[in-house]
Amino acid sequence: MIRIIFGFFLFFIVLTFVIWLSMAKIQENYIKDLITNNLEEKYKIIYTINTTGYPNRLDTSVNNIELISKDNFELVGIKSFLFMSLIYNKEKYIISIRPPVNINIGTNLFVITEGVMNASIEKSNDDFFHKLTIHGVKINLKLNDKPFLKVEDLILATRTKHSEIKDNNKEFFLKLQKPILHNHYSDEKPVFNYKFSLDHFKKLELPQLISQNDLLTKIFNYNYGSIEVNNTNINLENQISNIAKYFDKLIKN
């Protein structure tokens, strides 16, 4: 009798592990397809991937990520992010991003050196509805190895509705709580609050630093959107009309 129970128990463990391995492979392939399908031909990406979390979770780590241009210039580097889901729920995924995150724009290197960054991805059963939400806390950003910007709280959300009748409906929302420029770039007090629709930014003549960068201009492809900024020391009334020179100042320092 004990042998029968032990044999059944062992069979159950092996069966669940085989099922878990199968689901882990499906999740890894989903991540690989997600990366490949959103990667333009002029870029290539390098990373390693592995999954843990048996028996009820799928925690897939993507490590040492490098997004490289066709001339072998690193555009984005991420130490690691963790892609998590429950084995019985494939409609929602949680992503935890671990600093540092390196972003090269032209000859300038932006590095997120500190902070907690989590994201969630939701999709409908028919794959016609997608949500992406990113939440960051105490983000510390350096520009060319010098202190640049701190953000107390960040929320970025996008939503896409697919339709066979009309073009995709894409929505975008960004909220920044207490984004503070280093005093080398601004000597204002954090008393400014702003709220814009995405249309405001579409009408602007963007600095060359942004307008020639594919990764940054993708945001302006959304149909609707808003940006809200609270308690910042960035005085847009004085700086928005001279934004190109402002970016030039950042580059030179």
Task: Tell me the pLDDT tens digit for each residue of 47-68.
Answer: 999 999 998 899 999 999 999 9
The average pLDDT across 79-106 equals 85
Reduced 3-state DSSP string for the chain: CHHHHHHHHHHHHHHHHHHHHHHHHHHHHHHHHHHHHCCCCCEEEEEEEEEECCCCEEEEEEEEEEEEECCCCEEEEEEEEEEEEECCEEEEEEEEEEEEEEEEECCEEEEEEEEEEEEEEEECCCCCEEEEEEEEEEEEEEECCEEEEEEEEEEEEEEEECCCCCCCEEEEEEEEEEEEECCCCCCCCCCEEEEEEHHHHHCCCCCHHHHCCHHHHHHHHCCEEEEEEEEECCCHHHHHHHHHHHHHHHHHC
Q: For residue 101, name the pLDDT band (cuts at 50, 70, 90).
A: very high
Locate 15 and state its tokens. 């069966």
Share of the chain above pLDDT 70, in %: 77
Report the predicted TM-score, pTM, of the whole model to 2 decimal places: 0.74
Q: What integer is the mean pLDDT of 118-131?
A: 73
pLDDT computed for residue 105 by the predictor: 77
The CA-based angle 180-181-186, given to 5 degrees, is 120
pLDDT score of 213 more than 70: no
Which of the given ranges, 21-30, 128-137, 179-188, has the highest pLDDT on average?
21-30
- Write down the mean pLDDT value for the chain: 80
Nearest CA to 140 among 150, 132, 131? 150
pLDDT in tens, 186-209: 777 888 998 888 766 555 555 554
